[in-house]
Amino acid sequence: MDNSGYILSTQNRHYSFTPTELSSLRKHTLELSLTPLASPPALTAHHTLKILTHYTLTLSKLCHHFGVPSAVRGTAITILHRLYLHLSPVTTHPKTLLLPILLLAMKTELGGTSISQFIRTAEEVGLSTTKKELQSPELMIAAGLRWSLTVRHPWRGLDGAMVVLIREFGDQEDARIRKASQKARQWLTGDCFMTDAGFLYTPSQLLWAALWAQDQELIDRYMKGRFSDEVAEKIKECADVFVFGTRKIAGCEEEAIRWGGAVNEKELVSEAKVGDRMVHLARKELDQGRKRAEEEALGREAEERERRKKKRKMEMEKMKADDVFGPAL
Amino acid sequence: MDTPTLSVSADADAPVMLLTGDIARFNDETRDKYTKGQKIGEGTYAVVFKGHEKVTGRPVAIKKIKISSADDGMSLDSLREIKHLQELHHENIIELLDIFVGKRHNIHVVLEHLAGDLEGIIRDTKNFLFGSSEIKSWMAMSLRGLWWCHINGVLHRDIKPNNLLYTTNGVLKLADFGLARNFGEPGEVRMTAQVITRWYRPPELFFGARSYSSAVDVFSLGLVFAELIKRVPLLAGDSDVGQLQLIARTLGTPTESNWPGVSKLPSYVIPNADDVKPEADRAFYRMNFFSISQSGQDLMRFMLRLDPRKRISCRQALESEWFKEEPLPTKPENLPIKKDKEALEKVGQDLKRRAGFDERMDGGDLDVGNRGSKVARRLDFGAM
Ligand SMILES: Nc1ncnc2c1ncn2[C@@H]1O[C@H](COP(=O)(O)OP(=O)(O)O)[C@@H](O)[C@H]1O
């Protein structure tokens, strides 16, 4: 049901998972960042995901403040979550990357923006930043994304879906179709970002799930005979789990997944704070270790330079001596 | 907006953010897949090196983006090229194999290695003769690559002969996606009209159209088609104003009658008010492109229609009778190609050798050899 371009898209190749794959990748990335620590805190992928979810909300608010279109907001939030599949908050805290991520999303979706304007807009909400701070993480972000800068937003197919539905059911259902489509858009450009649905379903499965959630009777009729039972099941599963948040995926009790359902902001903040404290402790130890390693490396380098200088001096002296005694033949 | 509970500010004087952990490992693994060889070319924003994929020995082109992205971020050109080539996989589009960050924070884009571009063949009238079958083959391959871009929602926006490259087997590939962008998304932000190299730019862009479509690429390719026949650019204007006048004099003056709505475009003018011309008709194409058949002339005319809505799509173009009738398109492996520099050098060396030209008998070489051994002896002595 997706066009042939989707199969080879980076979204499908790098960012499409089963729930188990997704949560083990997150666990793996966190473990990797904690290995250098002598006494790692009891930080779990569940905690880091809460931190990330908290910053997703912050990023979303930032996007509203910047007045960017849904495509930029969707891309920015997707970049944040794709990046943190390979990056741990212990290594680089998400709060330092929110503005650079928003800037990158504006560059890929809108073809650039004025940096000074961007800095001024950030200042309006008390975030002071510089051009260098905004741009220096860009390579790390792009490399962390495996250089996949395209995000296929499911709502882009909504107008097309509306056309086929009206063709199927005729003008008498026009109002009903429009209403379903409008509500589907609301979910796809809103709460959907607070879940992992984008990692687990194709854009068109998401699109039909969002529509089905709004008007089951109508969309059931449309899907019958058109979509295989398997695909239809997948669409309904997506709606139940992520739009309604009424069930989890059978046989999958994974903790490091953002399931659907309402987000309680207060609860989220307190959970994120618990995680954040541990992240800070871990970072402290990591920074000390890093500093020690850097100093050692610098010391070694200085020693090496000194040694080479001495050696060169000796060689030069020998050569001069050669000249004094004539060519060595 | 509420001030976020946890503050969002970066470290005061953050150094260049290095790749760490998993991200660094992945980057190093990617970099280590290739060897980097000699420089083979240089463009405005990149130096291109020949390289090889270690495991397969496959030759590649490694495009090193000139500006270090460490403090300035990625240039829009490289960002666009990477973004779009990552998603477009097609026989007639250059293949992006990998991307990695070098030691000095320069982006390296690894591309399949190509042998040359159509401009090199078109201009070299001394060494290359070709006719309808070859042109048909190049046009069909270009149209297929462009069709794939368009159905995947990507405009190329810089179609011209030196962005149409080919492999040593003659297979044509669209390259240089530094100006590409997505189109056809509802609620689209307005697009800039400052794209496409002047000689290949369609009239709607000169009139400042801010929402344009795949028809811009079709027009550019239509001009490449004409150039393949004429062996010189059809419309080589020396300024933007001159270019628009040239379009109007050659293909016809854009007016409300041949292009409804054109006068509403932001910078619409009648470029040749003293000499208004009707849109070029069949007779024009028959007279100027008599070396190809009627269906070929029709195809060109449909690609070069003034009104973008009347231009044909790549798919319709590919369905043209011209591609089905005799003479049939040349098979790619039989198309003329320019030997790349390395191949030419090799031929040169073979010739030298055959002529009994031995490097060791060259006086200059002897001199260098001698000096070299002196230095070596002396260093040996010094290290004792
Ligand atoms: N894929 C490739 N294979 C072989 N040579 C290439 C390839 N890409 C670029 N080159 C060479 O490098 C030169 C510069 O390329 P590029 O950076 O794309 O610059 P521009 O588009 O400004 O010419 C080209 O003219 C060509 O000689």
Domain-located, residue B72: yes
CATH of residue B266's domain is: 1.10.510.10
Query: In a mutational test of the pocket of ligand 1, which residue from B47, B48, B157 has the highest number of ligand atoms less than 8 Å from its CB?
Result: B48
B44 labeled binding residue: yes
Residue B50: which domain range?
Answer: 5-113+366-378
pLDDT digits (tens, 9 = 90+) for B118-171: 999 999 999 999 999 999 999 999 999 999 999 999 999 999 999 999 999 999
Exposure of A302 by Cβ count < 10 A (0-12 exposed, 13-18 middle, 19+ buried)?
exposed
Secondary structure string (H, E, C) spanning chain B: CCCCCCCCCCCCCCCCCCCCHHHHHHHHHHHHCEEEEEEEEECCCEEEEEEEECCCCCEEEEEEECCCHHHHCCCHHHHHHHHHHCCCCCCCECCEEEEEECCCCCEEEEEECCCEEHHHHHHCCCCCCCCHHHHHHHHHHHHHHHHHHHHCCEECCCCCHHHEEECCCCCEEECCCCCCEECCCCCCCCCCCCCCCHHHCCHHHHCCCCCCCCHHHHHHHHHHHHHHHHCCCCCCCCCHHHHHHHHHHHHCCCCCCCCCCHHHCCCCCCCCHHHCCCCCCHHHHHHHCCCCCHHHHHHHHHHCCCCHHHCCCHHHHHCCHHHCCCCCCCCHHHCCCCCCHHHHHHHHHHHHHHCCCCHHHCHHHHHHHHHHHHHHHHHHHHHC
What is the pLDDT at residue B43? 85
Tell me which residue in B17, B23, B151 faces A136 most closely, judged by beta carbons: B17
Other Cβ atoms within 10 Å of A196 Cβ, number: 23
Tokens of B93: 């589009």
- Of all protein residues, whose CA lies closest to atom 12 belonging to ligand 1? B41
What is the pLDDT at residue B345? 54
Q: Give the lowest-confidence range in A9-13, A247-251, B115-119, B357-361.
A: B357-361
State mean pLDDT over B230-257: 97
Strand order in the sheet with B116-117: B116-117, B164-166, B172-174
> pLDDT confidence of A11, banded at 50, 70, 90?
very high
Cβ B50 vs Cβ B59: under 8 Å: yes
**Ligand 1 binding pocket includes B65 (Cβ within 6 Å):** no
Domain-located, residue B215: yes
Domain-located, residue B355: no
**Contacts with B69 from chain A: Cβ below 8 Å:** 135, 138-139
Other Cβ atoms within 10 Å of A299 Cβ, number: 10
Mark whether B173 and B322 lie in a shared domain.
yes
Select from A296, A254, A298, A290 the least CA-distant residue to A92: A290
Domain-located, residue B349: no
Mark whether B134 and B79 lie in a shared domain.
no
Select from A21, A14, A16, A11 the least CA-distant residue to A256: A21
Exposure of A261 by Cβ count < 10 A (0-12 exposed, 13-18 middle, 19+ buried)?
middle
Q: How far is the CA of A272 from the centre of ligand 1 (A)?
A: 49
Mark whether B107 and B181 lie in a shared domain.
no
Mark whether B223 and B240 lie in a shared domain.
yes
Q: Which amino acid, B240? A: D
Per DSSP, chain A holds a count of helices (H) and strands (E) of 16, 0
Handedness of CA A135, A143, B154, A200 (dihedral sign): negative
Count Cα atoms within 13 angstroms, Cβ side, for A324. Answer: 6
In this model, does residue B344 exceed pLDDT 70? no
Higher pLDDT, B69 or A100: A100
State mean pLDDT over B47-75: 87
Torsion over CA of B361, B366, B368 and B374, rounded to 10 degrees?
150
Secondary structure string (H, E, C) spanning A270-305: HHHHHHHHHHHHHHHHHHHHHHHHHHHHHHHHHHHH
Mark whether B164 and B254 lie in a shared domain.
yes
What is the pLDDT at residue B72? 64
Query: Domain boundaries in chain A?
Result: 1-152+265-317, 154-247
Mark whether B145 and B244 lie in a shared domain.
yes
Closest-CA distance, B72 to chain A, in angstroms, reads 6
B46 labeled binding residue: yes
What is the pLDDT at residue B278? 97
Q: Which residues pair with A278 in a beta bridge?
A: none
pLDDT digits (tens, 9 = 90+) for B81-99: 999 999 999 999 999 999 9
Contact at CB, A58 and B20, closer than 8 angstroms: no
In this model, does residue B357 exceed pLDDT 70? no
What is the pLDDT at residue A40? 87
> pLDDT confidence of B377, banded at 50, 70, 90?
very low
Domain-located, residue B161: yes
Tokens of A323: 């000249």
Mark whether B170 and B195 lie in a shared domain.
yes
pLDDT digits (tens, 9 = 90+) for B250-292: 999 999 999 999 999 999 999 999 999 999 999 999 999 999 9
Select from B201, B211, B284 the least CA-distant residue to B241: B201
Residues of chain B with pLDDT > 70: what percent? 81
Domain-located, residue B353: no
pLDDT digits (tens, 9 = 90+) for A244-272: 988 888 777 678 899 887 778 888 899 89
- What superfamily would CATH give domain A1-152+265-317? Cyclin-like (1.10.472.10)
Secondary structure string (H, E, C) spanning A145-180: CCCCCCCCCHHHHHHHHHHHHHHHHCHHHHHHHHHH
> pLDDT confidence of B363, banded at 50, 70, 90?
very low
> pLDDT confidence of A44, banded at 50, 70, 90?
very high
Q: Which amino acid, B156? A: H
Mark whether B146 and B92 lie in a shared domain.
no
Contact at CB, B21 and A91, closer than 8 angstroms: yes
- In angstroms, rounded to a whole number, what is the distance separating the alpha carbons of residues B221 and B200? 8
Mutate to test the interface with A, among B86, B93, B191 (most CBs of A within 10 A): B86
Q: Which residues contact A272 (CB under 8 A, 6 or more apart)?
A: A50, A51, A53, A54, B6
In this model, does residue A203 exceed pLDDT 50? yes
Q: Give the lowest-confidence range in A313-327, B13-27, B136-150, B353-367.
A: B353-367
Domain-located, residue B76: yes
Cβ B116 vs Cβ B165: under 8 Å: yes
What is the pLDDT at residue B262? 97
Question: What is the CA angle B271-B273-B274, rounded to 5?
Answer: 130
Tokens of A14: 């790098």
| Predicted-assembly ipTM surpassing the 0.95 threshold | no
CATH of residue B10's domain is: 3.30.200.20
What is the pLDDT at residue A323? 47
Mean pLDDT comparison of A89-98, A260-269, B308-317, highest-scoring range: B308-317
Contact at CB, A92 and B20, closer than 8 angstroms: yes
Domain-located, residue B350: no
Mark whether B18 and B70 lie in a shared domain.
yes
Torsion over CA of B266, B267, B272 and B276, rounded to 10 degrees?
0
Mark whether B223 and B315 lie in a shared domain.
yes
Handedness of CA B121, B125, B129, B135 (dihedral sign): positive
The CATH architecture one would assign to domain A154-247 is Orthogonal Bundle (1.10)
Q: Which chain B residues in 132-151 lie under 8 Å from chain A, judged by CB atoms?
A: 151
Q: Which amino acid, B363? A: G
Cβ B45 vs Cβ B67: under 8 Å: yes
Cα A228 to chain center, whole Å? 31
Q: Which residues pair with B155 in a beta bridge?
A: B181
Tokens of B356: 């009994």
pLDDT digits (tens, 9 = 90+) for A120-131: 999 999 999 999
What is the pLDDT at residue B352? 47
Residues of chain B with pLDDT > 90: what percent? 71
- In angstroms, rounded to a whole number, what is the distance separating the alpha carbons of residues B215 and B198? 16
Mark whether B228 and B371 lie in a shared domain.
no
- Number of structural domains (chain B) is 2
> pLDDT confidence of B191, banded at 50, 70, 90?
confident
What is the pLDDT at residue B16? 60
**Ligand 1 binding pocket includes B43 (Cβ within 6 Å):** yes
Token look-up 């043209």 returns: B320
Closest-CA distance, B103 to chain A, in angstroms, reads 12
B47 labeled binding residue: yes
Tokens of A138: 């860009």
Mark whether B139 and B77 lie in a shared domain.
no
DSSP A255: S
